[in-house]
Amino acid sequence: MRITSPGLSQFLYRQTRFFRTSASLRCEFPWERPFDFSTVEAVDKISGSKPAEVSNLVQGRWIGSSSWNTILDPLNGEPFIKVADVNETEIDPFVDSLSKCPKHGLHNPFKSPERYLLYGDVSSRAATLLSMTGVSDFFARLIQRVSPKSYQQALAEVKVTAKFLKNFSGDQVRFLARSFAVPGDHLGQQSHGFRWPYGPVAIITPFNFPLEIPLLQLMGALYMGNKPVLKVDSKVSIVMEQMIRLLHHCGLPLEDLDFINCDGKTMNKLLIEANPSMTLFTGSSRVADKLAVDLKGRIKLEDAGFDWKILGPDVQEEDYVAWVCDQDAYACSGQKCSAQSILFMHENWSTTSLISKIKNLAERRKLTDLTIGPVLTVTNEVMLDHMNKLLKIPGSKLLFGGEPLKNHSIPPIYGALKPTAVYIPLEEMMKDGNSELVTKEIFGPFQIITEYKRNQLSVVLDALERMHAHLTAAVVSNDPLFLQEVIGNTVNGTTYAGLRARTTGAPQNHWFGPAGDPRGAGIGTPEAIKLVWSCHREIIYDIGRLPLNWATPQAT
């Protein structure tokens, strides 16, 4: 049976009804346009005969462009979304819009402080609306149409976004701008530290989390008083376009942000000409390094992650550990920047059935419920070529997977691979000719598994030291001395430690971002927002009276 979009839609509709029933929630409009903010009439009816359209926003107006970028349905290859694609000759309104924003921002602690309250109110309203069953279902379905993942994964993205907005309701936005004071050297002198906006800024985000990543970074920029121009990968930008319309519905001023759809070359030209004070980029390391040079370092990055997991010597809860390994490596078809790329397994785990259990869990994933699906940036040819190169390493072997998905209509421009794991001996992995190959990130359902002996932890730590990307990591052990050794000798910015450690799952309640790079960005927390979207400004008041009988001193 070939899985096509209408059949998938019907299956997903039945699945959604189950989830609503189990949660004792009722939704009157599972597919229909739920509120006035939406320009998408019915998510399941987006098709070649009835394509959705995505516009741009600049200087408070929604506009089109001279040409359309046609997006293919990742499940059947049908042209189903038309994106108004801005070309290099059409960027002037976006350049002018950013240029009109002063360096001191749209608000700061000394200018228009009521806007901190405005954004607390906007966040509160948006959180309430996004938490409504119909609206959350609308966005989850829309995410599934453009970045296919299971309904549970898509809905979790919406829920995290809603919780983030709740976190920054009321007074929480102005608390981000909290200042401090230090007594001076004499009466009337005090130094005050303030968080200050950058003013005009840019945000560039990828396809894999069409709502969560751009929304959290966008709101962080707005909270601190910046004016952002936002570019989301055009394959999925319809999700954020609808979210911006929801924010306008909740009171976000139309002129506070711009939204552009364009290719990378056009966006690069816009950044050079508009010269934003800061740019946030989430995506590949190659593009990140180019932008860092082009923008003279005025950039924060959350780039690629070859993320590792170490299983410690204490073997326990085998079923749970296997399930987390499967989720970390293969949920969202491995298209998470935090996905488990390599598993270091202590020899004590080799005597268990862990690998066979991971294999069994991986093999139950299927296209009908999108627990496995299209890979939007890596083709089968690239993934299988990489696998074949790995299998030439002495002692390597294919543990499972390694074959294309069958009976589907996924277009060949996208990948469609069974969950795959390749075993590489640790000793071979450490050889200079192999290390770079083994640690190459494949943004799909692909992982490396290796084993280390009880006296080889130092070799594992050396392997981690050689890696270039330090986003997430997991140390699966309840042995405090083992945890201490590994954590003390590694650097990953978001590291989970303990028996229940994972590499994926970026909720709104803790920092998520890389470490070891001064350009590193975070997301989700007050600390992340202040680091990425504001700088420190010190104002020293010195208003005290002069001492009696003060006279001009000698020159020094």
- Say if CB 342 and CB 449 are below 8 A apart: yes
Q: Is 60 left (phi over 0), alpha (psi -120 to 50) or beta?
A: left
- Say if CB 249 and CB 43 are below 8 A apart: no
Phi, psi of 164 (to 5 degrees): -60, -45
In degrees, rounded to 5, the angle at the alpha carbon of residue 74 between the alpha carbons of residues 72 and 77 is 50
**Strand locations in 108-252 (E):** 180-183, 189-196, 200-205, 227-232
Three-state DSSP class for residue 24 = coil
The tokens describing 243, both together, are 């979210």
> What pLDDT was estimated at residue 228?
98
- What residues are paired with 537 via a beta bridge? 194
The tokens describing 66, both together, are 């001279």
Q: Which of 325, 337, 441, 451 is catalytic?
A: 337
Count CB atoms within 10 A of the CB of residue 503. 28
Is 337 assigned a catalytic role? yes
The tokens describing 125, both together, are 């309203």
Q: Which of 157, 241, 302, 451 is catalytic?
A: 302
Q: What is the DSSP letter of 470?
A: -
Which ranges of 457-551 does DSSP label H, i.e. alpha helix?
457-466, 480-488, 526-533
> What pLDDT was estimated at residue 315?
98
Phi, psi of 480 (to 5 degrees): -60, -35
> CA 215, CA 27: separation in Å to the nearest integer?
25
Taken in order of first residue, the domains within the chain and their CATH numbers are 43-303+526-535 (3.40.605.10), 308-497 (3.40.309.10)
> What pLDDT was estimated at residue 544?
85
Per-residue three-class SS string for 396-449 = CEEEECCCECCCECCCCCCECECCEEEECCHHHHCCHHHHHHHCCCCCCCEEEE
> CA 242, CA 119: separation in Å to the nearest integer?
19
> What pLDDT was estimated at residue 41?
83
> What pLDDT was estimated at residue 32?
44
The torsion angle over the Cα atoms of residues 423, 426, 430 and 434, rounded to 10 degrees, is -20
Provide DSSP, 451-462: EE-TT-HHHHHH
List per-residue pLDDT tens for the chain, 556 residues long. 444 544 454 444 444 444 443 333 333 333 344 468 999 988 999 999 999 999 999 999 999 999 999 999 999 999 999 999 999 999 999 999 999 999 999 999 999 999 999 999 999 999 999 999 999 999 999 999 999 999 999 999 999 999 999 999 999 999 999 999 999 999 999 999 999 999 999 999 999 999 999 999 999 999 999 999 999 999 999 999 999 999 999 999 999 999 999 999 999 999 999 999 999 999 888 899 999 999 999 999 987 779 999 999 999 999 999 999 999 999 999 999 999 999 999 999 999 999 999 999 999 999 999 999 999 999 999 999 999 999 999 999 999 999 999 999 999 999 999 999 999 999 999 998 899 999 999 999 999 999 999 999 999 999 999 998 899 999 999 999 999 999 999 999 999 999 999 999 878 899 999 999 999 999 999 999 999 999 999 999 999 889 999 999 999 9
> CA 77, CA 4: separation in Å to the nearest integer?
10
Q: Which of 443, 204, 176, 165 is closest to 300 using CA atoms?
A: 204
> What pLDDT was estimated at residue 10?
41
- Say if CB 376 and CB 74 are below 8 A apart: yes
Q: What is the DSSP letter of 43?
A: G
First to last CA, the chain: 89
> CA 549, CA 319: separation in Å to the nearest integer?
82
Which ranges of 5-150 does DSSP label H, i.e. alpha helix?
5-22, 92-99, 114-131, 133-146
The tokens describing 467, both together, are 């890696």
Q: Which of 363, 339, 332, 348 is closest to 447 using CA atoms?
A: 339
- Say if CB 398 and CB 432 are below 8 A apart: no
Question: Residue 320: which residues within 8 A CB-CB, separation 6 or more?
Answer: 499, 500
> CA 425, CA 393: separation in Å to the nearest integer?
9
> CA 478, CA 476: separation in Å to the nearest integer?
7
Tally helices (H) and strands (E) across the chain: 19, 20
Could you tell me the CA-to-CA distances from 438 to 195, 306, 423, 427 in Å, in that order?
42, 10, 10, 12
Is 535 assigned a catalytic role? no
Count CB atoms within 10 A of the CB of residue 498. 15
Could you tell me the CA-to-CA distances from 475 to 73, 84, 314 in Å, in that order?
38, 45, 11
> What pLDDT was estimated at residue 469?
84
- Say if CB 255 and CB 60 are below 8 A apart: yes
The tokens describing 458, both together, are 């130092």
